[in-house]
Amino acid sequence: MRHSTTPPEEKQLKTVLPVLSLLLLVSGAEAASVAPHRAIYDLTLLRANEGASLQSASGKLAFEIDGSSCDGYTVNFRMATKYHQPDGGVSVIDTLSTTYENGAATALRHQFKESVNGKVRDSDSIKVSRETAEAEGKGEMKSKPSEPFTVPSGAALPMQHQLKLMALSEAGGGRDSSIVFDGSDGAKSFRAISFVGKQRPPGSVARDSGNAAAAALKGVSSFPLTVSYYNLDGNAEMPEYQVSFDMYDNGVATGLVLDYGDFALSGTLTDLTFLDKPSCP
């Protein structure tokens, strides 16, 4: 991964939505068991390169999805992380977001707020609409009302992209390359390169067998997944960021790894609550 001196707060904000969209992976797949749920993870520092100027990190990630394929999905997300620098400095970064994507993949609404050490650093809302799931989209940001943007034709919204990866896993796994718009960097779309593993039988994730928070997953099959996000502009050899985890067929993720390039965080599932599943008419 590339080395950088970009502050952790700038990196965390850009990685929130990719994490968000990947945690949506099978929650909208009718072929799987749809399971609206709330999951909480403890975050710890997995790795820090010299250029990261980072001594330690810890935090919480909370994720909640509700809705259905007919009504669309609403996702609430919060990631709060404390970063300790070698010089004794501390940054507490708290990012909250709410995202809605309709079942037809023709509309996306996203709003977020990020605070650093208790002070709001950034906030915005984004809307995207298009006539069909494959058409060019029209987008706008509340912070830049006079600068509308377009989403490339053929680009996938988060849920649309993840259902594609789910189908790939069910077909035996493999590699996928897609243009994705998720709102993580304003008007920018990304090239997402994904490596999807084969479906594994229940009980195959040894890490979760001793985790009480994962007890409800014992009878559920899963598969490993890694997605790397590249800028569409230029010919970058290294991704902007990368996320990986084990995904269960009811939409619950465990073993999170959020790789920002010069440092990486790991996430351990500590609490899991299943919510009522809405039914489509």
> pLDDT (tens digit, 9 = 90+) per residue, 139-155?
999 999 999 999 999 99
> Is 30 inside a domain boundary?
yes
> Which residues does 64 contact at the CB level (< 8 Å), separation at least 6?
37, 38, 39, 75, 76, 77, 275
Tell me the pTM. Answer: 0.88
* Structure token digits, residue 9: 């707060």
Q: Which of 41, 111, 13 is nearest to 268 (CA)?
A: 41
> Is 280 inside a domain boundary?
no
> Is 236 inside a domain boundary?
yes
pLDDT (0 to 100) of residue 31: 44
pLDDT (0 to 100) of residue 124: 94
3-state secondary structure of 236: coil
Q: Judge whether 264 and 7 are in contact, CB under 8 Å.
A: no
Q: How many domains does the chain have?
A: 1
pLDDT (0 to 100) of residue 32: 46
Instruction: State pLDDT tens for residues 190-226.
Output: 999 999 998 899 999 999 999 999 999 999 999 999 9
Residue 77 to residue 81: CA distance in whole angstroms = 13
Distances (CA, A) of 128 to 18, 70, 139: 17, 19, 4
> Is 173 inside a domain boundary?
yes
> Is 279 inside a domain boundary?
no
Distances (CA, A) of 263 to 1, 8, 11, 134, 237: 9, 9, 10, 35, 18
Q: CB 57: neighbour CB atoms within 10 A?
A: 22
The helix (run of H) or strand (run of E) holding residue 61 is strand 56-68
> Is 267 inside a domain boundary?
yes
pLDDT (0 to 100) of residue 30: 43
> Is 281 inside a domain boundary?
no
pLDDT (0 to 100) of residue 1: 26
> Is 1 inside a domain boundary?
no
Distances (CA, A) of 181 to 132, 168, 257, 269: 15, 20, 21, 27
pLDDT (0 to 100) of residue 249: 84
Low-confidence ranges of the chain (pLDDT < 50): 1-6, 17, 26-33
Containing domain of residue 227, as a range? Answer: 8-274
